[in-house]
């Protein structure tokens, strides 16, 4: 194989092997930042394929780049002297650790990925040892070596933060994080009792009554977060209190279908963030502090690297053919640092306009901070109002097409596909139709039908006795209403 490729190809490969891996790693990070959170409200398969591919490539390419870099340094630094070009190339190692720390938009593509937190914990140790090895091999005592340490600290904190989020998001820890309450003593009922002790006459739904002094969007956020504990219990397969059910129905009886769907959209978005993003960490004092420190350190490193190169260029004895650093490698370094800074700034901006931050500001009446954010980010208020939280579409599966395909047009090479255990998955994919739009009229009909159906059922039967039958009859009530046996 070495004789097959021309020498100029091999030379090109040796020069661009590490550069290519680093640029691919950077590309995956940009894709994950832009599209990582997009699949919440995008039904197209194109986005999911790109995110899935970038998610799988990100860690493997970054780890491979660090391994190749350490191998090159081991070969070059045999006499205790390191080439200045290799010094700036070695500076990419801590930036690879920053990439392994991932983005705030996505930490796991599926719930099963959260269970891999042990593997990532081990990878933190291995990658740290590799980076320290590169640091020792490339140490010259220069400014670049000092900046190496700063970026390594930033990357290590980001990577440990990612492992912590994965650990907190596994099923057992998510279930344990939910307050253990009895079915009769929920958060809402406790708030009602506190109001009664203060002398107020309240019912269960009055705790979440609409506040006329704030906007509709903020009211929807308050209502959604008021039911968040109950929604968490649904996703954790825990029992929901009977009075919580009464409370939710009393709220939804008084609002429109559009507002009801918006509240549910917010709740589902929060659950998504808790399971697939860094939400468990970033919405805390520690998380915010780490982001501010990361932005400051990355900005300082970018400025110091730029100024040091400008200083070298201006020196009288510095000529182009004696250039200390490769122009290409220096450009790549600036791109890596600039993108890292932009990613941190974008993540901080998303944090400021998130539902969690808006809810905290409204709940604690931080009007000054809220106005400051709107002044700094004029698009903040409009983005909150027009935020897409889901695709407003539903995928369809045609049972008729499925049955007809089995009889008239079976899959080619079915025996081979069956041996590979992919036949059923392919049949399901081929029988799916394009998503249909879930418009306002359809949402109104669904909301009205559910309200009428539940009210009629509860009017005839006892809630405590027939609650299981109410939600487990799977269409029987519709058949009874139509008098179909």
Question: What are the pLDDT digits (tens) for 262-321?
Answer: 899 999 999 999 999 999 899 988 999 999 999 999 999 999 988 877 666 555 444 444
Structure tokens at 152: 């390594």
Report how far residue 193's alpha carbon sits from residue 199's, in angstroms, rounded to the nearest whole number. 10
pLDDT at residue 388, as a whole number: 75
Residues 6+ apart with CB under 8 A from 351: 104, 282, 283, 288, 291, 357
pLDDT > 60? residue 463:
no
Distances (CA, A) of 305 to 42, 333, 337: 40, 9, 9
For residue range 146-169, what is the model confidence (pLDDT) as tens digits?
Answer: 999 999 999 999 999 999 999 999
Q: Kindly compute the dihedral angle of the four CA atoms of residues 328, 334, 337, 339, in this order, to the nearest 10 degrees.
A: -90
Select the more confidently predicted residue: 110 or 377.
Answer: 110
Q: Which of 31-40, 189-198, 367-376 has the highest mean pLDDT?
A: 31-40
Q: pLDDT tens across 362-406, in order? A: 887 777 777 777 776 665 555 555 677 888 888 777 777 777 766
Q: Which residue has the higher pLDDT, 54 or 408?
A: 54
pLDDT for 321: 43
Mean pLDDT of the 252-259 span: 84
**pLDDT single digits (tens) 113-135:** 999 999 999 999 999 999 999 99
Alpha helices in 211-252 (DSSP H): 216-226, 228-235, 242-252
Does residue 394 sit in helix, strand or coil? strand
More confident residue, 480 or 469: 480
pLDDT at 5 over 70: no
Q: Above 90 in pLDDT, residue 188?
A: no
Q: pLDDT value at position 456?
A: 66
Q: What's the pLDDT at 206? A: 43
For range 38-53, the mean pLDDT: 85
- 282 token code pair: 């970033």
Q: Is the pLDDT of residue 34 over 70?
A: yes
Three-state SS at 241: coil
Q: Is 179 exposed, middle or buried (0-12, 13-18, 19+ CB in 10 A)?
A: exposed
Residue 438, classed as helix, strand or coil, is coil
pLDDT confidence of residue 187: 58
Mean of pLDDT over the chain:
79
Of all residues in the chain, the percent with pLDDT exceeding 70 is: 73
Please give the pLDDT value at position 377. Answer: 66
- pLDDT of 246 reads 73
Structure confidence at residue 320 (pLDDT): 47
| pLDDT at residue number 83 | 67
What is the Cα–Cα distance from 301 to 401, expressed in whole angstroms?
Answer: 59
| Residue 221 reports pLDDT greater than 90 | no
Residue 340's pLDDT band, with cuts at 50, 70 and 90, is very high
Average pLDDT over residues 93-106: 92
Q: Hey, which residues does 433 pair with through a beta bridge?
A: 396
- Look at residue 311 in the predicted model and tell me its pLDDT: 67
pLDDT-based confidence at 465, cuts 50/70/90?
very low
- Report the interhelical angle of 92-100 vs 327-352 (nearest 10°): 30
């Amino acid at each position: 194989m070495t004789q097959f490729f021309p020498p100029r190809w091999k030379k090109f490969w040796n020069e661009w092997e590490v550069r290519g891996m680093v640029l691919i790693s950077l590309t995956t990070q940009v894709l994950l930042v832009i599209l990582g959170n997009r699949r919440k409200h995008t039904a197209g398969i194109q986005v999911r394929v790109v995110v899935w591919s970038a998610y799988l490539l990100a860690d493997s390419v970054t780890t491979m780049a660090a391994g190749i870099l350490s191998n090159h340094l081991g070969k070059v630094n045999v006499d205790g002297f390191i080439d200045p070009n290799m010094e700036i190339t070695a500076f990419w190692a801590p930036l690879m650790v920053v990439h392994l720390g991932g983005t705030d938009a996505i930490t796991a593509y599926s719930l099963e990925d959260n269970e891999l937190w042990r593997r990532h914990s081990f990878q933190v140790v291995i990658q740290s040892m590799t980076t320290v090895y590169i640091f020792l091999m490339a140490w010259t005592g220069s400014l670049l070596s000092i900046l190496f340490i700063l970026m390594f600290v930033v990357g290590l904190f980001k990577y440990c933060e990612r492992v912590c989020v994965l650990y907190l998001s596994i099923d057992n820890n998510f279930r344990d994080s939910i307050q253990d309450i009895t079915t009769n003593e929920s958060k809402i009922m406790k708030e009602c009792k506190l109001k009664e002790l203060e002398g107020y006459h309240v019912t269960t739904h009055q705790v979440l009554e609409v506040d006329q002094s704030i906007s509709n969007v903020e009211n929807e956020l308050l209502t959604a977060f008021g039911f968040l504990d109950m929604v968490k219990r649904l996703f954790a397969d825990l029992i929901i209190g009977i009075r919580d059910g009464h409370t939710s129905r009393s709220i939804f009886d008084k609002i429109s279908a559009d507002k009801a769907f918006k509240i549910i959209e917010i709740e589902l978005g929060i659950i998504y963030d808790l399971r697939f993003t860094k939400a468990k960490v970033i919405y805390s004092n520690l998380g915010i502090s780490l982001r501010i420190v990361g932005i400051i350190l990355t900005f300082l490193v970018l400025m110091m690297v730029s100024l040091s190169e400008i200083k070298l260029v201006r020196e009288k004895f510095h000529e182009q053919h004696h250039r200390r650093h490769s122009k290409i490698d220096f450009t790549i370094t600036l791109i890596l640092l600039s993108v890292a800074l932009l990613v941190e700034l974008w993540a901080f901006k998303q944090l400021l306009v998130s539902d969690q931050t808006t809810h905290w500001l409204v709940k604690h009446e931080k009007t000054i901070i809220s106005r400051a954010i709107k002044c700094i980010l004029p698009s903040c208020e409009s983005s909150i109002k027009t935020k897409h939280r889901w695709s407003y579409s539903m995928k369809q599966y045609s049972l008729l097409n499925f049955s007809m395909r089995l009889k008239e047009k079976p899959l080619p090479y079915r025996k081979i596909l069956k041996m590979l255990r992919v036949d059923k998955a392919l049949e399901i994919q081929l029988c799916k139709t394009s998503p249909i739009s879930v418009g306002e009229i359809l949402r109104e009909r669904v909301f009205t039908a559910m309200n009428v159906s539940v009210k009629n059922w509860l009017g005839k039967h006892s809630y405590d006795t027939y609650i299981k039958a109410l939600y487990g009859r799977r269409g029987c009530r519709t058949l009874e209403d139509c008098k179909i046996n």
